[in-house]
Amino acid sequence: MEDYPRTIAEFEARFSSQAACVDYLFELRWPNGYLCPRCGNERGWRVRGTLIECARCSYQTSVTAGTVFHRTRKPLTMWFRAMWWITSLKTGVSALGMQKVLGLGSYRTAWTWLHKLRRAMVRPGRERLSGRIEVDETYVGGTEEGLRGRKTEKKALVAVAVEENGRATGRIRMARIRDASASSLEAFIEESIELGSLVHTDGWQGYSGLKQLGYKHEVTVLAGRDESACELLPHVHHVAGLLKTWLAGTLHGGISREHLDYYLDEFTFRYNRRTSRSRGKLFYRLVQQALEVDPVPYQAMVKHVRNNRLSDH
């Protein structure tokens, strides 16, 4: 059963103590009952802090071990508020905004939390898109047009896949790719789209091997000079436009190639749940996924940032 607060009042009433947050994580992490990692016993209870103790062998494990909250020194109530805030805003969030709203002591903490939580926005082993899907690539960063098929140093190339539901768009997937070669595009498509689906692209040679991979392939090419690329693959161009607007509005002060991946994940998370009426359910999903992804230390996150910025910020 999906159990989550519906309103901010419910949220505040429920998650005002560390113990309440630990209980919630416990329920989400072991929905079918606790399982002792040492002896396999099926009963355990909360002892102190985040620790759970096995009812048989007394082995203790932390409810946050191996999750996004691994070894955090901040109270879980603060993490919960951060997740509620992130999911209750319809647009993106900035580290500075988060630092102010949560009263976090340092900008670095806010920045680290945001990046950790962005990593949790992609569910490990998520379903692939299916049905009829438009695919195209777009450049992010920089104002000059990139040449297709050529590797760019200054801009990032992003592959975008969008389910066509008639005139409406369904779910999306996106990823940064190295170039527009067949091998890069095919890797993205195999990762994102179920075999047997119909993939709709333009006439770029990078897509010519899709039938051999096991997809149906529909190609639309420009018929006349009056037509623009937007009319060719309207769904994917609509989404790519929203992505660029969102990136420009969300990211003040720079974006690195590595971090772009996580912004794409955040955009996808928000977009695919844009019609969800309950923000509480987004919060629930984020907490659930934060328990499933591995922790990443701050040092690993900032490793390549300095010499790898995109050109337009």
| 39 touches Zn ion (CB under 5 A) | yes
Tokens of 153: 């140093």
- Nearer Cβ to Zn ion (39/229): 39
Long-range contacts of 248-256 (CB under 8 A, 24+ apart): 249/91, 249/92, 250/91, 250/92, 250/93, 250/94, 251/94, 251/313, 252/94, 252/96, 253/313, 254/309, 254/310, 254/313, 255/141, 255/309, 255/310, 255/313, 256/304, 256/305, 256/308, 256/309, 256/310
- Nearest approach in angstroms of CB 61 to Zn ion is 9
Segment interacting with Zn ion (CB under 5 A) among 21-29, 40-48, 258-266, 282-290: 40-48
If you write DSSP's letter for every residue of 197-252 in order, what string do you get? PEEEE-S-GGGTTHHHHT-EEEE----STT--HHHHSHHHHHHHHHHHHHHHHH--
| 57 touches Zn ion (CB under 5 A) | yes
| 59 touches Zn ion (CB under 5 A) | yes
- Nearer Cβ to Zn ion (26/59): 59
| 195 touches Zn ion (CB under 5 A) | no
- Nearest approach in angstroms of CB 127 to Zn ion is 34
- Nearest approach in angstroms of CB 34 to Zn ion is 9
Alpha-carbon distance of 215 to 28, in angstroms, equals 37
- Nearer Cβ to Zn ion (54/174): 54
Alpha-carbon distance of 117 to 79, in angstroms, equals 10
| 156 touches Zn ion (CB under 5 A) | no
| 41 touches Zn ion (CB under 5 A) | yes
Which helix (H) or strand (E) segment holds residue 44: the answer is strand 44-46
Residue 124 CA neighbour count, 13 Å, CB half: 8
- Nearer Cβ to Zn ion (43/216): 43
Q: Could you say which residues in the range 18-37 bind Zn ion, by CB under 5 A?
A: 36
Q: Which amino acid is at 102?
A: L
- Nearer Cβ to Zn ion (38/126): 38
- Nearest approach in angstroms of CB 63 to Zn ion is 15
- Nearer Cβ to Zn ion (57/229): 57
- Nearer Cβ to Zn ion (26/204): 26
| 54 touches Zn ion (CB under 5 A) | yes
| 175 touches Zn ion (CB under 5 A) | no
Total residues contacting Zn ion by CB under 5 A comes to 8
Q: What are phi and psi of 79, to 5 degrees?
A: -60, -40
Tokens of 289: 């996924």
| 47 touches Zn ion (CB under 5 A) | no
Residues that bind Zn ion (CB under 5 A): 36, 38-39, 41, 54, 56-57, 59
